[in-house]
Structure 1
Amino acid sequence: MLMFVALLSLLTVGSARKCKDIMVPVSLTAENAVFDIKAPITKIEVTSLFLNMAQQGRDYSSLMQTGTKEISGDYNLAATYCEPDHGPGRELQIMTHGVGFDRRYWDFPHNNYNYSYVEKAVDEHGYSTLTWDRLGIGASSKGHPIDEIQVYLEIAALCELTKQATSGKIAGSYTNFDRVIHIGHSFGSVMTYALADMYPGMTDAIILTGFTHVFSYIPLFLVGNNFIPVKDSPILAGKYPTGYVASASTTSMFVNFFSDGDFDPEMLELSYIMGQPAAPAELLTVGAPVMKKSGYTGPVLVITGEHDLPFCGSDCYATDSLDGTLPSLLDASKEYFPHASRFNTSVVPGAGHGLNYGYSHTFTFNSMLDFLSE
């Protein structure tokens, strides 16, 4: 039976919230892709893989997929639940981070938690929040980087985590949240999109950050990350199975996540030091769940930095790659939500892909919370 089993720590963060780190056991099943690809071990193998994935004019993932296979297993998901000091909020936000980060992306401690979305949501707006390390990342269970850690198994993990959160197994005995809201960043937005489509009754509103439906710039991200084998990373070596890949340097982080003039250099350094790797199959499967229209009927916000590299090619207002008539590339997502009760977009001025880490994070956070209060 799925249940909350381990209370790892209880601490007070800031002046108006209490948080607890938890480990959540889940049993998962998903239909994974089978790829004719070996987990890359050397720098040459890693570079060759991502050059193949980035090549224009062909879908390398589809070319290398030979079929599908059901994957089942028992895993542990590391998470942090926060609520106001006075008790559970009336609404719960469940947040899923993207590639390169772990759950600390949402509650980053730098500069007295100035960059923490969780602090603003809980302390100032009274929400309860649940952040988690995606399956395969951080303190959550690891797995094979090609055969196992793929987007659909991670979506299954988000589904089970949500079930536990809304049945009171994570927030003590509390089950009476008025709304459950899902928020994603980048790869986490793909998962959030899929959850709302596959299990529409599970979420009352979704926010997709660092995301558009324009995937033609993803190769810039794949090459810009300058991936190396995780075993060669001075920070992550020994913490992940062979075959995972990591950003090579702060330069890689700058290229993919930051925008010139919109960040504190200390944040760039910390993002690299606290960064996490990726399983190659995550990037091989990232597009699959979002290429069909969603049946989701709730409210949707897409919010992305003006200079987001992987989803806007560094200019979200350059829409000539589509038909040139849309206000921004974010608006390309509207046709994928034909039944949404409300569809909003917000381009964050001057921001890069890693929205929470820029000086512009205040604009981002306010836009998200304003949307939820409408």
Structure 2
Amino acid sequence: MFKSVVLLALASAVAAKHCRNITVPISISARNGVFNIAPPKTEAQVTDFFLELSKQNSNYTQSITNGYKTIKGDYQLAATYCEPDRGSGDTLQILTHGVGFDRSYWDYPFGNYNYSYVNRAIDQGYSTLSWDRLGVGHSTHGDPVSEIQIFLEIAALKELTQLARDGKIRCVEHRFKKIVHLGHSFGSAMTFALTNMYPAISDAIVLTGFSQVPSFIGLFMLGGNFAPVKEIRTLKDRYVEGYVAPKTSIGVHINFFAPGAFDPKMLQAATATGQPAAVGELLTVGSTGATSEFGGPVLVITGERDVPFCGGDCKNAVIINNSAPNLIEMSRTSFKKASAFNATIVPGAGHSLNFEHTSGATYKAILDFIGRHL
């Protein structure tokens, strides 16, 4: 049954779309952590960093924090705005990618765009705004320890959202009636934090590749085979020391793809186009809090075999002492003010939901939820 839904979703006709790449200038500030470490430069230093970060019963971030400092500056965000050929929809979806990718995660060209979430959203009349997170892709890079942290990235997302809501983004002057935020993984953590800090900033949120169970992040840290960017041909000339990425497709496979759930050529493509993470991001990803003040509709949707957020088995409730039916449903108690809450596990899928055979069913679940609750 589920496979039939997937095939039907992938085969459905997609409405014509009009997209344009834009650059959004922003001026932002954030209270960042001051970390008493130098950017790891060698493979040994990177490995030691991850061994420290993933150590059980330890808080490495806290141990190296030496206070906080306000970081402020002018930055450029690289974004892509898409709308149906008939013009802007009433609702804008702002799409924030996770670690390992850039904004192409949402509109990936592999397989003639059969894996494109943007195409499915456009087909239902929505407009989309995907962006390279600050520090990644074609957005402004920065110091990977002191500057590119989740706090400054959340500030960037807030400013981007406000500009979009006010109709002040160049070439996107339309004033949308509603804004929905979608995140993936690290982008979900950002979306969670943004809408907790500013509950009125969004009309609905979708958190993909996400849970609030921190027990398994160490698997992601150690399973990714991370190396300094200078050791990775596609990244070494674009990023400075202190950015890290999986050195081979093995790390990408472990962290992002479930067994038997993907086209092997997609794994090759995802590895070749993958983007790095700044160590400052990795040190601050767990700093977003446990509960939310957001009062709109909330969907949490994660693959059954997700490694970083479920340890490869999202249905296993033992880790939370059976306090919820599964690890994704556990988030319900964090959204006590939500007007609607749904926790969905995608059968057989891994962490990189958009790149697997089940992507069509994932998109249908997301768009059905948004359509019901907006």
TM range (shorter): over 0.9
Q: Size of the alignment, in residue pairs? A: 359
Alpha-carbon offset, residue 107 of structure 1:
0.2
The residue correspondences of 1:340-355 to structure 2 (distance < 5 A) are: 340-355=338-353
Residue type of the alignment partner of 2:326: S
Structure-2-length-normalised TM-score = 0.94
Partner of 2:357: helix, strand, or coil? coil
Rounded to whole Å, the distance in 2 between the matches of 1:235 and 1:176 is 38
Separation (CA, whole Å) in 1 of partners of 2:111 and 2:341: 34
Q: Counterpart in 2 of 1:307? A: 305
Contact 2:164-2:172 at 8 Å conserved across structures: no
Q: CA offsets per residue over residues 103-141 of structure 1, 9 Å max, x none? A: 00000001110000001100x201000000000000000
How far off its partner does 1:200 sit?
1.2
Q: Kindly report which structure 2 residues correspond to 1:179-218, keeping only aligned pairs within 5 A, or say none.
A: 179-218=178-217
Report how far residue 324 of structure 1 moved: 1.5
Query: 1:182–1:203: 8 Å Cα contact kept in structure 2?
Result: yes
Alpha carbons 2:24, 2:170 under 8 Å: kept: no
Whether contact under 8 Å (1:94, 1:182) holds in the other structure is yes
- Contact 1:142–1:241 under 8 Å retained in 2: no
Match of 1:59 in 2: 59
Partners of 1:348 and 1:293 lie apart in 2 by 24
Q: Which amino acid aligns with 1:48?
A: D
Aligned to 2:154: 155
Measure, in 1, the Cα distance between the counterparts of 2:165 and 2:129: 11
* Matched letter for residue 118 of structure 1: V
Residue identity opposite 2:261 in structure 1 = D
Deviates more, 1:29-38 or 1:324-333: 324-333
In structure 2, distance between residues paired with 1:252 and 1:145: 21
1:253 aligned onto 2:252: yes
1:289-341 deviation line (CA, Å, top 9, x unaligned): 1x231111001000000000000000001111112142210112111111111
SS at match of 1:105: helix
Deviations 1:228-277 (CA, angstroms, capped at 9, x unpaired)? 00011011111011111111110011000000110000100000001000
Q: Which residue of 1 aligns with 2:30?
A: 30
Amino acid aligned to 2:331: S
User: 291-300 vs 89-98, which deviates more?
Assistant: 291-300
Gaps of 5+ in 2: 1-13
What amino acid does structure 1 have at the position aligned with 2:32? N
Cα 1:171–1:75 change in 2 (3 A) is closer
Which residue in the other structure is 1:7 paired with? none
Q: Which moved more, 1:319-328 or 1:257-266?
A: 319-328
Structure 1 residue matching 2:215: 3-state secondary structure: coil
Q: How does 1:170-185 map to 2 (within 5 A)?
A: 170=169, 172=171, 174-185=173-184
**AA in 1 matched with 2:71:** I
TM-score by length of 1: 0.94
Matched residue, 1:365: 363
Q: Which residue of 2 aligns with 1:98?
A: 98
Q: Select between 202-211 and 326-335 the one with higher mean Cα deviation.
A: 326-335
Deviations 1:16-60 (A, max 9, x none): 110000011111100001111110001111000000001101111
8 Å CA contact 1:81–1:170 kept in 2: the answer is no
Task: Give distance in 2, aligned partners of 1:35 and 1:335.
Answer: 32
Between the aligned partners of 2:357 and 2:168, the Cα distance in structure 1 is: 36
Distance 1:369 1:304 in 2: 15
Three-state SS of the structure 2 residue aligned to 1:160 is helix
User: Sequence identity, in percent?
Assistant: 52
